[in-house]
């Protein structure tokens, strides 16, 4: 950061007391040149590693946390990083499909967008009917797997150190956090898994009117190359372009938030990297998502707790919201439910019925962190992707509509899920599922009884004339006993020698 000149861009009023010598040294080693602060910051994070780029993409969605200028500078990390050479991309394609890129695609254009993991080219293929079709070709960056391994190794060292020296580090479960990141990265490095995630999300959302995903070209997809339908649309971070195309920005903000909640609650499977560089709006006004390397899953139990917690905030039922946290095990049982309800009331009341531009997310996150520490709430690794994505989605929606009321926007989706799953229809389905599980257990019961009878007969035969050990087992026990006796004898002689020495001297 110092070498790229980022440190010298920090406002002197924001620097910690006594840090002037360090910033003076940073100024001495900073690169000279006319590069903008955005270019310097992007270059620094890129050189630090792809994990740091991911962090920059996340912070770019929160100008209310890092400041508008910093957020604007970080936006280039979403899709405008330096591209790698065309010949490297073509070599990767040839390696994946055992034939030249010119055979796989009738045309492969230069890179149009580049991020931390991969870059995207526009290609063209000829279908069996002779029609030309444009496609998006995503190619992994060379050596990205090794760079992520280096990042993760550093993160693991820092996490273990943090957990060993401070109780706060153990409460935050830093190693488990890095474990979650490592699993996510492992899946992101194989574009076949991304294609599968894209296909699953497409199946889940095929009936949605306001959201869709591109189709996968499986014949041209491999471990390092993903080919999908080409999307014509305006990126969600191009506000001027969206207005020029006649799109309603507040409506788009609502679609972003409601689509995410619908996927998380209804399907338990959601896009966990919904920064503006991965979101387009097509000519029909539908939200189109790309880049499915990071996906999140929620089980039925987590979805129920999420819905009840959100509904508690929407209806301002703080006691029920607190009870759900205890039922889920998010708060240790030795704490008071009423005290926790009071704490979350302090979080919820100031942001209820307020527009997005009236809420300081930085202050809200600070208060949330203080409450989790006060009530000994440990990090829940299974919820990390959900929590991170909720912050990003709220930031994206806020950028589209600064007057967004997040609770009114979320209410229809959450209420619909609760009525469907926790109402009478949901209870009937739950009871039917229980009957089905009982039926399957009864079907397996005769086999379990027969298996128990076989085990009992074998045990009776083995012990009828007393328990008999094989010669090999007897020899092994004898050898182990001999080793134990030798060490016992040596120990006794050592004690005797020490006693003799004590008596003599």
Tens-level pLDDT at each residue, the chain (505 residues)? 888 888 777 777 777 788 888 888 888 888 877 666 667 777 788 788 777 877 777 777 666 566 677 777 777 776 677 788 999 999 999 999 999 999 999 999 999 988 778 899 999 999 888 899 999 999 999 888 888 888 888 889 988 998 898 888 888 888 888 888 888 877 888 999 999 999 999 999 999 999 999 999 999 999 999 999 999 999 998 899 999 999 999 999 999 999 999 999 999 999 988 888 889 999 899 999 998 988 989 899 889 988 998 898 888 899 999 999 999 888 999 999 999 999 989 888 887 767 666 666 656 666 777 788 888 888 777 777 888 888 888 888 988 998 888 888 888 999 999 988 876 554 554 454 444 545 555 566 677 677 777 776 666 665 565 555 555 555 655 565 555 555 555 555 555 555 555 444 4
Residue 386: domain span = 233-434
Does residue 134 lie in a domain region?
no
What pLDDT is attached to residue 476?
56
The span from the CA of 339 to the CA of 308, in Å, is 19
A 10 A CB-CB count for 210 gives 17
Q: What's the number of domains the chain is made of? A: 2
A 10 A CB-CB count for 278 gives 23
Does residue 480 lie in a domain region?
no
∠ CA 278-283-286, rounded to 5° = 55
Task: Examine the fold and report which residue of 79, 108, 143 is the final residue of a domain before the chain moves on.
Answer: 79
Class of residue 182 by CB neighbours under 10 A (exposed 0-12, middle 13-18, buried 19+): middle
Does residue 228 lie in a domain region?
no
Task: Examine the fold and report which residue of 379, 406, 434 is the final residue of a domain before the chain moves on.
Answer: 434
Does residue 129 lie in a domain region?
no
Q: Terminal CA-to-CA distance of the chain, rounded, Å?
A: 67
Does residue 478 lie in a domain region?
no
Residues with a catalytic annotation lie at 273
Does residue 271 lie in a domain region?
yes
Does residue 16 lie in a domain region?
yes
Does residue 138 lie in a domain region?
no
H helices present in 357-403, as ranges:
361-374, 384-400
């Amino acid at each position: 950061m110092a070498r790229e000149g980022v440190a010298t861009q920090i406002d002197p009023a924001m620097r910690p007391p006594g840090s002037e010598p360090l910033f003076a040294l940073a100024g001495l080693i900073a690169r000279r040149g006319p590069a903008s602060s955005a270019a310097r910051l992007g270059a620094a994070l890129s050189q630090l590693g792809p994990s740091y780029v991911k962090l920059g993409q996340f912070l770019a969605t929160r100008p209310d946390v890092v400041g508008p200028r910093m957020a604007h500078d970080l936006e280039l990390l979403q899709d405008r990083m330096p591209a790698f050479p065309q010949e490297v991309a073509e070599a990767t394609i040839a390696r994946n499909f055992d034939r030249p890129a010119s055979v796989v695609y009738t045309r492969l254009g230069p890179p149009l967008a580049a991020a931390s993991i991969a870059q995207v080219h526009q290609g063209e293929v000829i279908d069996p009917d002779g029609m030309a079709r444009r496609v998006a070709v995503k190619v992994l960056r060379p050596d990205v797997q090794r760079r992520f391994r280096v990042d993760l190794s550093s993160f693991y060292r820092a996490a273990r150190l943090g957990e060993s020296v401070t109780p706060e580090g153990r409460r935050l479960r830093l190693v488990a956090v890095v474990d979650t990141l490592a699993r996510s990265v492992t899946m992101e490095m194989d574009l076949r898994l991304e294609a599968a995630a894209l296909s699953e999300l497409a199946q889940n959302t095929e009936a949605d009117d306001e959201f869709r995903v591109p189709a996968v070209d499986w014949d041209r997809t491999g471990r390092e190359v993903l080919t999908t339908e080409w999307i014509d649309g305006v990126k969600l971070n191009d506000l001027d372009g969206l207005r020029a195309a006649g799109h309603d920005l507040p409506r788009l903000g609502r679609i972003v938030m409601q689509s995410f909640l619908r996927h998380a609650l209804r399907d338990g499977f959601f896009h966990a990297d919904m920064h503006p560089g991965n979101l387009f709006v097509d000519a029909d006004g539908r939200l189109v998502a790309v880049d499915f390397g990071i996906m999140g899953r929620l089980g039925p139990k987590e979805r129920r707790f999420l819905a009840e917690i959100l509904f508690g905030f929407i209806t301002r039922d703080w006691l029920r919201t607190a009870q759900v946290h205890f039922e889920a095990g998010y708060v240790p049982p030795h704490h008071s439910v009423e005290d926790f309800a009071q704490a979350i009331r302090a979080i919820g009341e100031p942001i209820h019925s307020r527009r997005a531009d009236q809420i300081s997310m930085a202050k809200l996150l600070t208060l949330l962190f203080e409450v989790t520490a006060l009530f000994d709430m440990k990090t829940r690794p299974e919820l990390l992707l959900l929590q991170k994505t909720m912050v990003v989605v709220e930031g994206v929606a806020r950028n589209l509509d600064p007057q967004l009321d997040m609770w009114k926007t979320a209410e229809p989706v959450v209420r619909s899920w609760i009525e469907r799953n926790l109402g009478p229809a949901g209870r009937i389905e739950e009871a039917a599922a229980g009957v089905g599980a009982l039926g399957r257990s009864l079907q397996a019961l005769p086999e379990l009884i027969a298996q128990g009878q076989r085990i009992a007969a074998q045990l009776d035969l083995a012990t009828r004339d007393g328990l008999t050990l094989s010669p090999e087992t007897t020899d092994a026990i004898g050898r182990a006993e001999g080793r134990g006796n030798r060490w016992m004898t040596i120990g006794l002689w050592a004690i005797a020698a020490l006693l003799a020495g004590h008596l003599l001297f």
